[in-house]
Structure 1
Amino acid sequence: ANDLSNLEALRAGLREVGYVEGQNIAIEARWAEGRSERLPQLAAELVRLPVDILCTAGSLASGAAKQATTTIPIVFANVAFPDQSGLVASYPRPGGNLTGVAFIGPEYGKRLELLREAHPRLSRVALIYNPDNPGSVLALKETQRWATPLGVRLEPHKFRGPHDFEQVLAAIAGKRPDALMTTADPLIASYSTPIVDFVAKHRLLSMYPGREFVDAGGLMFYGGSVPEMYRRAAVYVDRILKGSKPSDLPVEQPTKFDMVINLKTAKAFGLTIPQSLLLRADEIIQ
């Protein structure tokens, strides 16, 4: 459902710049369904079609597309630190055949600050990340960088797939942290419901990088507006189709950030969310 809403946001963005599917543009969509090992095959399939532009969602899909072609332009969205993961040379001058919209950092610290505001005595936070996703590893490092000055101890937990899911949850339960966070990662997102159920069972505070977690009953989401990122990706598509080179189009950061609070979950936990947080929320789930 999340992938479909992202595709709809891209379609909406394309319509805004004059492209209508079935009239002057054709879209070929491929889904890995949380199975990152399928990405190279899907990227190769699209390259063989061929397509004029590849649009990719997240660091893993963008890396697979980069491996599949050095000539077809690639526009990414929802990617973390593409300069550090080697997708682009720099933000102002990406070089190569990739550019797009990326998360570059401040939201990681903001998530911790918002958790601290909800629970002033916050001291230990468990973080689930995927060590096989470069974007997830970089998000862990960035969160750690913000945690130290805030006086928060971050406890990272590696999650690689179905075989170690229960083990990861047992390790977190054993350490009894104050709160749980996850990095943005397709594998982790595909487990949003069981993660949220675990958090509810252990009555932990939680802050997530994806809207799907809060819809499943998670407490808080804060991050760059993902639909807005896909609408901005459409502007890159338009510029490239009109002759611009990806190497000359600077990487953008999100300009719109969303905060969603699930008040229903807070009440079930017996947690009082400060008015200062509620007033700043873009949406409150009652």
Structure 2
Amino acid sequence: MRKIIVTLLTIGLVFLAACGSSDTESGNNDSGDGEVYKIGATQIVEHPSLDAAYEGFKQALEDAGLNVEYDFQSAQNDQNNVKPISDGFVADGVDLIFANSTPSALGALQATSEIPIVFTSVTDPVDAKLVDSLEEPGGNVTGVVDLHPEAIQSTVQFIADYFPDASVGMVYNAGEQNSVTQVNTVKEAAEATGLEIEERTVANTSEVQQATVSLVEDVDVLYIITDNTVVSALDSVVGVANDHDIPLVVGEPDSLAKGGFATFGIDYHTIGYRTGEMAVEILTEGTSPNDIPVEYPPQLQLYINKTAAEEQNVEWHSDWDEDAEFVE
């Protein structure tokens, strides 16, 4: 009987491990109201932008003086892990779910219509059917999107201004609604310019390098949006861009640190922090997510990585010295 029990426990542990990586941490603060809040935090994968949003979220709750126990779990970029993670949060009776990415938010909503959910790193929550509208989210979900309404248009115009009549290569996971929405917006914006869009789709990170290589002979610029799959394998895209002197435009500043050349981006720590402030209002004041409108990021800025520009043999323009923030 003892052997059977040990075997069953082992099977159970293996099953839990298969649902993605997890980490339980405490954010207790003695200046709180004495109540300990339990928050389930989940994101589709760990990469710098999503990680920065999570850190911003926790900082907001710490600054508000809340006593918090976090159960953080990453789906490890496996869609099969997404809903089971939130199912686990529901079973544990968490007070709130922080969903960091579109797949994670969808998984949380599928798991519960009762527990409050706040999201960030979501591009179009209406199109993804997370909320009814930005002004009146409906149900138990609200948050902060990660795409400034002018970001893609500004990026496309930047490419058209400095790389006129270019063919622009895009690699993305068509299984991510977040990415499909962005690519469609890029195409619409490009219609008013002389740019042509060449696409390659991937299903996982192992396909990213080959998909990028397949574009080399056909494109003048690479544009990688905030696609979780591709950003997780961005090093391979950077290698191709550097080897073939192709400017690499990216969707957010954190990708510049990995070797992207330029972006019109936002600060993910800031949008995570604002999402945390929403969580504080829900937890301490009993506000319904439906009464908190979904928000856009507050600022948009041109960022340029000078080292990457040199690696990709980009012709420098003097106006960038005045207009851009520089990232190493």
Q: TM-score normalized by structure 2?
A: 0.80
SS in structure 1 at match of 2:72: coil
- Correspondence for 2:279: 237
The 3-state SS of whatever aligns with 1:155 is: strand
Q: Cα–Cα, structure 1 residues 200 and 165, in superposed 2: closer, same or farther, change >3 Å?
A: same
CA distance in 2 between counterparts of 1:269 and 1:140 reads 23
Name the CA distance, whole Å, in 1 between partners of 2:308 and 2:161.
Answer: 17
State the Cα distance separating 1:27 from its structure 2 match.
1.6
Displacement, 1:166?
A: 4.4
The answer to whether residue 150 in structure 2 is matched with residue 106 in structure 1 is: yes
Gaps of 5+ in 2: 1-46
Please give the alpha-carbon distance, in whole angstroms, between the structure 1 residues aligned to 2:160 and 2:279. 39
How far apart are residue 147 of structure 1 and its match? 0.8
Cα shift at 1:162: 4.3
Normalising by structure 1, what TM-score?
0.91
Distance 1:249 1:87 in 2: 14
Deviation of residue 271 (structure 1)? 2.2
Structure 2 counterpart of 1:272: 315
Aligned partner of 1:17 in structure 2 is: 64
Deviations, residues 99-151 of structure 1 (Å, cap 9, x unaligned): 101136321111112223443x2421011121111111111111111111122
Poorly superposed stretches of 4+, deviation over 4 Å: none
Q: What does residue 169 of structure 2 align with?
A: 126
Letter of the 1:138 partner, please give it: T
Q: Greater CA deviation, 61-70 or 256-265?
A: 256-265
Greater shift after overlay, 88-97 or 203-212?
203-212
Note if contact 1:10-1:231 (Cα within 8 Å) is conserved in structure 2: yes
Query: What is the aligned residue count?
Result: 279
How far apart are 1:165 and its partner, in Å? 3.1
- Would the alpha carbon gap of residues 277 and 36 (structure 1) be closer, same or farther in structure 2, given more than 3 Å must change? farther
Whole-angstrom CA distance in 2 between matches of 1:268 and 1:149 = 30
Pair member with larger Rg: 2
Q: Which consecutive unaligned segments of at least 5 residues does structure 1 have?
A: none
Asked whether the 8 Å contact 1:207–1:222 carries over to 2, the reply is no
Is the 2:53–2:120 Cα contact (8 Å) retained in structure 1?
no
Are 2:254 and 1:207 equivalent residues in the alignment? no
Give SS of 2:265's match.
Answer: strand
1: CA distance, partners of 2:80 / 2:169: 26
CA-atom RMSD, angstroms? Answer: 1.8
Q: Which amino acid aligns with 1:110?
A: S
